[in-house]
């Protein structure tokens, strides 16, 4: 398994492409937007330069990594002759089902189809294909080049052979794969998102401000990043989407998104990606608290 296609050149997609290419896999990076592809490749280059500055890789490995990546704006062209396709499109069920229907038609019959979804049912995604036994979840963590974990999610009909193949492949990427079963939110987000949502509720109820909540969790619980800053980093729209998937999947009110989160997403305050969330990122990448407006 040496030929990989990655669908989506955004934050997760370019990170996944980076990791495969750096480990000497041939990668076809696919996005319908040429601008997104150029931005994704620029981000990969920037991240490689950071690794060089930290003396973790050489200039030769950077050049080899970039040479291993070819960009495409067509799924049809991009998935030809691939052994594995990893979908990393927006966390939207309708979009993912549409993509997997197309992948099933265009990718080689023996290719494994994986999704980087952080919450959506792999079984549901697999059901729109004629190869459900070859559909699996590969949930990488952000930032992909740094974070070790990959959640490997078995759908209801995912074969043992495919699961074992993807587990070994993840190890070849110097990642630590953890196999989990197919329930809304899997493990990582089933535990993480209620915590982030509760932090937002704490702010919404006026218990404390943004800086204070994050400081308590960083200093009191040894978290490297406070929950509100982490929500900004993930993307508030992504957090809302995952919470809605879990709320609809379990019908349990503990997963219902906080009204403040809903309003912020509707107002376009999505975190780092929009320049403002619980913190203001408009002047620099260093988060500046805007807690007063929430108190």
DSSP states of 237-261? HHHHHHHHHHHHHH--GGGPPPHHH
Residue 252: CB partners within 8 Å, gap ≥ 6?
246
Please report the sign of the dihedral spanned by the C-alpha atoms of residue 78, residue 19, residue 155, residue 236.
negative
For the beta carbon of residue 249, count every other beta carbon within 10 angstroms: 16
**DSSP annotation of 139:** E
The answer to whether 8 is a known ligand-binding residue is yes
The answer to whether 96 is a known ligand-binding residue is yes
Q: What pLDDT shows up at residue 292? A: 36
Q: What pLDDT shows up at residue 185? A: 94
Q: Are residues 208 and 275 in the same domain?
A: yes
Query: Residue 194: enclosing H or E segment and its boundaries?
Result: helix 188-204
Domain presence at residue 239: yes
The answer to whether 10 is a known ligand-binding residue is yes
Question: Peptide bond before 143: cis, by omega within 30 degrees of 0?
Answer: yes
Q: Are residues 139 and 218 in the same domain?
A: no
Q: Are residues 215 and 138 in the same domain?
A: no
The answer to whether 2 is a known ligand-binding residue is no
Q: What pLDDT shows up at residue 284? A: 52
Domain presence at residue 295: no
Q: What pLDDT shows up at residue 217? A: 98
CA distance 116 to 88: 5
Query: Residue 286: enclosing H or E segment and its boundaries?
Result: none
Count of the separate structural domains present in the chain: 2
Q: Are residues 151 and 216 in the same domain?
A: no
CA distance 263 to 278: 12
**Which residues are marked as active site?**
118, 139, 151, 189
Q: What pLDDT shows up at residue 183? A: 95
Task: Supply the CATH number for residue 263's domain.
Answer: 1.10.1040.10
Q: What pLDDT shows up at residue 295? A: 31
Task: Write out pLDDT tens, residues 56-70.
Answer: 999 999 999 999 999
Q: Are residues 272 and 169 in the same domain?
A: no
The answer to whether 235 is a known ligand-binding residue is no
Of 181, 212, 244, the last residue of a domain is 181
Of 146, 181, 216, the last residue of a domain is 181
Domain presence at residue 99: yes
The answer to whether 13 is a known ligand-binding residue is yes
The answer to whether 54 is a known ligand-binding residue is no
The answer to whether 12 is a known ligand-binding residue is yes
Residue 151: CB partners within 8 Å, gap ≥ 6?
137, 138, 139, 177, 178, 180, 186, 187, 188
The b-or-e profile of 229-239 (16+ CB within 10 A means b, else e) is bbbbbbbbbbb
Q: What is the pTM of this model?
A: 0.89
Show the domain range for 254: 189-290
Mean pLDDT by 10 residues, the chain (295 residues): 96 97 98 96 97 96 98 96 96 95 98 96 98 98 96 98 98 98 96 98 98 98 97 96 95 97 98 95 59 35
Q: Using CA atoms in the order 187, 99, 89, 36, what is the torsion angle rounded to 10 degrees?
A: 170
The answer to whether 232 is a known ligand-binding residue is no
Q: What pLDDT shows up at residue 282? A: 84
Q: Are residues 87 and 119 in the same domain?
A: yes
């Amino acid at each position: 398994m040496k030929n990989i296609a990655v669908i989506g050149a955004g934050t997760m997609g370019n990170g996944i492409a980076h990791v495969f290419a750096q480990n000497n896999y041939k990668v076809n990076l696919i996005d319908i937007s040429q601008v997104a592809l150029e931005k994704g490749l620029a981000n990969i280059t920037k991240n490689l330069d950071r690794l060089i500055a930290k003396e973790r890789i050489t200039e030769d490995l950077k050049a080899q990594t970039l040479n291993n990546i070819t960009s495409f704006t067509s799924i049809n062209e991009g998935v030809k002759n691939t052994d594995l396709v990893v979908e990393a499109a927006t966390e939207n069920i309708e979009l993912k089902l549409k993509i997997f229907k197309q992948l099933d038609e265009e990718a080689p019959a023996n290719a494994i189809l994986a999704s980087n979804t952080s919450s959506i049912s792999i079984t549901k995604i697999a059901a729109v294909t004629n190869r459900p036994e070859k559909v699996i979840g590969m949930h990488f963590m952000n930032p992909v080049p740094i974070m070790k974990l990959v959640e490997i999610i078995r759908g209801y009909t995912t074969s043992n052979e495919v699961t074992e193949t993807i587990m070994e492949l993840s190890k070849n990427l110097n990642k630590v794969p953890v196999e989990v079963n197919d329930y809304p939110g899997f493990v990582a987000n089933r535990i993480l998102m209620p915590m982030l949502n509760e932090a937002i509720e704490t702010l919404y109820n006026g218990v404390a401000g943004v800086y204070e909540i994050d400081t308590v969790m960083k200093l009191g619980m040894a978290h490297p990043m406070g929950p509100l800053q982490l929500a900004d980093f993930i993307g508030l729209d992504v957090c809302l989407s995952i919470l809605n998937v879990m709320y609809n999947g379990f019908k349990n009110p503990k997963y219902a998104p906080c009204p403040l989160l809903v309003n912020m997403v509707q107002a376009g305050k999505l975190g780092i990606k929009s320049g403002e969330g619980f913190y203001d990122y408009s002047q620099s990448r260093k988060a500046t608290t805007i807690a007063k407006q929430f108190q």
